[in-house]
Amino acid sequence: MQSKHCNMLQSWSRRGSNGTTSSTTNRLASINTNSRVETASVPMLRTLTSIRKDSCGSGTQECIPQHNASQCLSDNRRKSLLHYLIVLIAINFCYLQPASADQVVLLDTTREATLEWTRYPYGPQAQTPGWVEESFTDFVKGINWRSYVVCDVAYHNVNNWLWSPFIDRGPANRLYIEIQFTIRDCSLFPGNALSCKETFSLLFYEFDAATREPPPWQTDSYKLIARIAAGEGRFNQNSDVDINTEVKSIAVTKKGVYFAFRDQGACISVLAVKVYYITCPAVTENFAHFNETPTGREITIIEKQNGTCVENAEPYEPPTYLCKGDGKWTILTGGCRCKVGYEPNYVNKTCTECPAGTFRSAEVRKCVPCPPNSSTSSTASPLCKCIPGFYRHPRDGRHMPCYKPPGPPTNLTVLFVDQTSAIISWNAPAKDEFGMGQTEKYRSDVVYKIRCSMCNSNVMFNPSTDTFNETKLTLTNLEPVTTYTVQVHATNGISYLVDPTLYANETFTNSEVQFSNVSSTTTKNQQLDLNEIKTEHAEIIFTTESAILSTIFNLRVLAITSKDADLVWDKPVQSDAPIELYEVRWFPKPELDAMNKTALNTKETKAHIEGLSENTEYGFQVRCKTVNGFGSYSNIVYAQTHQPVSSVYDDSVQVRFIAGAIVAGVFFLVIFIVTTVYFLRSKHQDELDKKSSNHLPLPMDYASNEVNAMDTTPIVKTLHSNVTTPLFGNSRSYVDPHTYEDPNQAIREFAREIDANYITIEAIIGGGEFGDVCRGRLKIPPNFVQDIDVAIKTLKPGSSEKARCDFLTEASIMGQFDHPNVIYLQGVVTRSNPVMIITEYMENGSLDTFLRVNDGKFQTIQLIVMLRGIASGMSYLSDMNYVHRDLAARNVLVNAQLICKIADFGLSREIENASDAYTTRGGKIPVRWTAPEAIAFRKFTSASDVWSYGVVLWEVMSYGERPYWNWSNQDVIKSIEKGYRLPAPMDCPEALYQLMLDCWQKQRTHRPTFASIVSTLDNLARQPQSLLTIRNSPENDGTQVLDTQRGHNIFISTDLWLENIKMSRYSQHFKEANLVSAQQISRLTAQQLSDMGITLVGHQKKILHQARQLDIVI
């Protein structure tokens, strides 16, 4: 129904005052729109017409703007005017589309009822008709747009201008303008066109305020955006009309902008113009709200937006979000969390208050019911208060139940008592029950305290501490025939909370006490005495036996076997009554509690004891009994039972047999090893003698390792075994394309040929040695419907055959690599012109430019992730035996996800900036990034790439600063030879700067491998606290790497010696190995260093070399 009404309104509105449709409709046959930008949010409809009173003749009339002129209407036509306005509003409402959140439209001519833009020339004095405002209508598409047309092809010196109204940019940093237009083919005007063209110019003029008069139209007042041609095609009498859509963008800084269209003899219809800017939409992440944020002035600039916490949330780290140039958010850091008492809703990203009867503390993730014996009646509670009589320990989480103090111990019993000692035991207090009949889990911190009446200072307690958790107590040094009262008190962590009067000056809320008050002072600043705490206890009373004068002396063990023992003793020298019998007791030495479990009675002064355990030490005691009772036990005598003789003999024979077999095996093994080594050494020497006459080294320029220095080939020791493996694997190696006689053969082997018809070039984004670098689209198999962004390197037309070979050599190199941190080759175009290399597209361009644009916007951990990617890519290339030779931040590309990838593999390319190059007999070298041995001897290896990586690391941490600043190349070379190294960048962590110095070791064998660099960066990323130590580098600090042969052989202490040789990072390793003297260090071996955890081969060699220097001094 709505569509039907809209069609009726369109047919009415399309008719002018004469009742006919616009001429533009008759010129166009059909429409094929191909818009590449989605419709953005539409502002409110502007006022289409305004009614104003004016004086027309003698009466008051209303003047209504109509197209290109104002027509005065009489009072009796007001009603028809009102109907006209309603129709125009209804038509615009019919075409109003829902808006997405990533665009803000500032101007859209398809929403306007009339345009009335400023034109030149215009009026009766104009030499050419110029721009004419008309309506563009399509009944099928339901379109009714106001547009401008111009077709002055029959005139000389055409110069037609059309200005947009002043457009206030608002918060925008970059404006986009989308133009829908058609262009007629000049072939439609054979012989009649005097100045026919098929392009027009788009210009702009920034201004700080709207002006009454349009800005001057002279060329020097406006900046050219682009010359626009028909991309979809031109139309003639025999073809349908194609609507072309062109989108351009400009950076803006002033209050607003005018756009201008300049025609110099074309037949054009500007059908629609839309001006907008792109924003990252308002979002809520991590419970932080980020407002809508316009993108930066440049597409590569990242805008940082600070977030605000949602209601009832608080930040745990300041929330920040980065807005990219394409209107998408990236790299969220920090965030907020719901306050206690509020539950996080992760779907709606809101914080909801906890209802009554529930709570949420920091220990729980959502609102939960109150734990047992606690309650709350308010909403948004951070805790539940304990009910009266129950308490919660301050160290317990707020989700823990509340408890009562423990009851008294149960089943208190006297196990043993004599004249001077007693043993008592008890059970733990009875458990309480919760309100619902659930048995309480007893607190594990129940301890006992003893109070004893009549116990003097000589009485000994075991356990002897004031409080303990055992359920048995032994008392010794008691007095005979004395009555003792012993109380056993049970306490736990909340017992001190029962009586709040002990803390009169402290304020506790609802039985919740700060833990500092547990052992703090009382109101009189006296130490808190547990005796003052009200506790439950059990009590027992016992009386010691009377003292007997009869005491046994001279107890001895006559004989002892594996199971039996014979004891004898002397009669007491003095006795108060005749002796009735003797009581003998024994017990294993460690088990003093078992001393009363085994005993026998005898009337003789000797005893035979049976049933002892083998190979066990026993304690023996004897006491006598008279009519007055038992006397005291004698002193303890210890003796150990034997092991059975037969068993000992058998074990001895077995041990001797095993030992003999081991000795014989070792002997034969040694003989075998010696024989094998001698044979292999003899054979190896023969082979060396045969090869010594015809062995030729590889050319120095292409050596990827020290092939003729076999003694010094680095060996990497594995961490989990004693096996050593070569530094480079041989599973897959790089093949030099220069070894092929025909470069096209290398291309066919390593690169994929792509049909040029599947490639579309969209824009030129840079220039290179061989030609232009463009952004484009590549249709991908299998059906070649979908396409992806690609970078396209083109070869200049007319290039020499050598330039063509060098150009394709880079593709032959890239085609051999497949790694997430190495630029990926999509393919090549060699069967048509221009010759092209197609690679993946990296949105953020080169790393050095990207860092300079975003100076200071990244955290250290983010930079480490980028550095780790570069090291991983170089480790892959190193394993392939490929040496890059020109690793620098300018040759590393960054994509939209901030992933860094190694690029620029041309072996014979020219250096872009002559000041960065140093000419030798072998060609130009980028001095600031090149290792000393590569500059002096053109010796390029993976170790020289490691040096370059150290400079890249410095570039990243300094956000793209130029290494060695404005120094000349000769100054750089001389300073490096003298030991100068770049100082630490500002706010650079000590660990990262130390890694730079490792990469800049003068001896290339002392530098780390790329694999170890990846491992080091992984460890730093997993331990961010190690990045908190910042390297303090004074302005004049030119870090001097001391000569390793000078000043290191003076030993004062291990720490100072390690610091002198720049190995202080291993101080803790030496301390743990207890290496404190020069003699110990001088005898170190490589195996000892590996066992200590020092696994880098270069560091091992350096430490051992300096240790041998100590040996010379000693």
Annotated binding-site ranges for ATP: 793
463: preceding bond cis by omega (within 30 degrees): yes
Q: Record the tokens describing residue 415, joined without a space.
A: 């196990």
CA pair distance 1051, 605, nearest whole angstrom: 73
Long-range contacts of 360-364 (CB under 8 A, 24+ apart): 361/397, 361/398, 361/399, 363/397, 363/398, 363/399, 364/399
Q: Which amino acid is at 369?
A: P
In residues, how long is the chain?
Answer: 1114
**Annotated binding residues, as ranges?**
793
Give whole-number Cα distances, 39 to 30, 47, 105, 276, 861, in Å. 22, 21, 8, 10, 39
Give whole-number Cα distances, 1055 to 1062, 1087, 1109, in Å. 10, 21, 17
Q: Record the tokens describing residue 328, joined without a space.
A: 């998408």
H helices of 1000-1066, where?
A: 1010-1022, 1054-1060
H or E segment at 611? none
Tokens 């050319």 sit at which residue? 699
Q: What is the dihedral of CA 830, 836, 838, 843, to 10 degrees?
A: 180
CA pair distance 1076, 1053, nearest whole angstrom: 7
H or E segment at 879? helix 860-879
Q: Which amino acid is at 261?
A: F
Residues 343 and 381: beta-carbon distance below 8 Å: no
CA pair distance 736, 746, nearest whole angstrom: 9
Tokens 């390029």 sit at which residue? 940
User: How many Cα atoms within 13 Å fall on the side-chain side of residue 508?
Assistant: 26
Question: How many helices (H) and strands (E) are present in the chain, helices listed first?
Answer: 18, 58
CA pair distance 380, 354, nearest whole angstrom: 5
Q: What is the dihedral of CA 263, 267, 271, 273, to 10 degrees?
A: -20
Q: Is 248 exposed, middle or buried (0-12, 13-18, 19+ CB in 10 A)?
A: middle
Tokens 């550095």 sit at which residue? 867
Q: How large is the angle between the packed helices 860-879 and 942-957, nearest 10 degrees?
A: 170
Give whole-number Cα distances, 1000 to 15, 953, 988, in Å. 80, 11, 17
Q: Which amino acid is at 672?
A: F
The three-point CA angle 728-732-738 to 5° equals 100
Residues 579 and 571: beta-carbon distance below 8 Å: yes
Give whole-number Cα distances, 832 to 17, 327, 752, 1035, in Å. 58, 38, 14, 56
Candidate list 102, 152, 886, 945, residue with the active-site label: 886
Residues 949 and 1008: beta-carbon distance below 8 Å: no
Q: Record the tokens describing residue 994, joined without a space.
A: 């130390």
CA pair distance 869, 863, nearest whole angstrom: 10
CA pair distance 364, 360, nearest whole angstrom: 6
User: How many Cα atoms within 13 Å fall on the side-chain side of residue 877?
Assistant: 29
CA pair distance 753, 829, nearest whole angstrom: 6
CA pair distance 369, 363, nearest whole angstrom: 14
Task: Specify whether 108 is catalytic.
Answer: no
Residues 1049 and 1110: beta-carbon distance below 8 Å: yes
Selection from 304, 297, 299, 294 nearest residue 325 by Cα:
299
Cβ count within 10 A of residue 811: 27
Would you please indicate which residues are annotated as catalytic (active-site) residues? 886
